[in-house]
Structure 1
Amino acid sequence: MSAAEFASLRSGMSYSEAVAIIGGPGELMSESDIAGYNTRMYQWDGEGGFGANANAMFQNDELVNKAQFGLE
């Protein structure tokens, strides 16, 4: 994932919309189903220096949080 792709991710978008922007699926890192909320955390390798990566959390298939390290 590039820094520009990361910046294009917006709260409320679906996982499939995020994948279309990024150009590939993320690695599912965790998943939980609690009180009617399905929460999934995905990670992508990043373009940039060693260890560059990004992750995104989707709750009921809506982006609710994102973070990145070292993207270029």
Structure 2
Amino acid sequence: MSKEIEAMGDDDANATISLEEYESVKIGMSYSEVKKIVGGPGNALSESGDAVVYMYNGEGSIGANANFMFLSGELVNKAQFGLE
């Protein structure tokens, strides 16, 4: 498990994400860079080897969220639903 994943539990609350913040997140960023943009950690949904998927609850419609997939600490995929 990477140090970034282990450190995730150090924060008290999970952040929510807006559409503007989501659009500021770029492929190739680290989890630390994403946390700075969003304002906190996400929920680790799955971990497999060097791959980790984090979910952030979103600002917007009911069920709004964003998911970020990191491979070896680098953002390789992102998706969102209902962010405003």
For the aligned pair, the TM-score class normalised by the smaller chain equals over 0.9
Aligned residue pairs total: 68
TM-score (norm 2): 0.80
Indicate the structure with greater strand content: 1
The sequence identity of aligned pairs, in percent, is 57
* 3-state SS of 1:12 partner: coil
Q: Which residue of 2 aligns with 1:42?
A: 54
Match of 1:53 among 65, 69, 74: 65
Q: Which residue of 1 aligns with 2:36?
A: 20
TM-score (norm 1): 0.93
CA distance in 2: counterparts of 1:2 and 1:46, whole angstroms: 6
Q: Which residue of 2 aligns with 1:9?
A: 25
CA distance in 2: counterparts of 1:3 and 1:54, whole angstroms: 9
Gaps in structure 1 of 5+ consecutive residues? none
C-alpha RMSD of matched pairs (Å):
0.4
The runs of at least 4 aligned residues of structure 1 exceeding 4 Å deviation read none
Indicate the structure with greater helix content: 2
Gaps in structure 2 of 5+ consecutive residues? 1-16
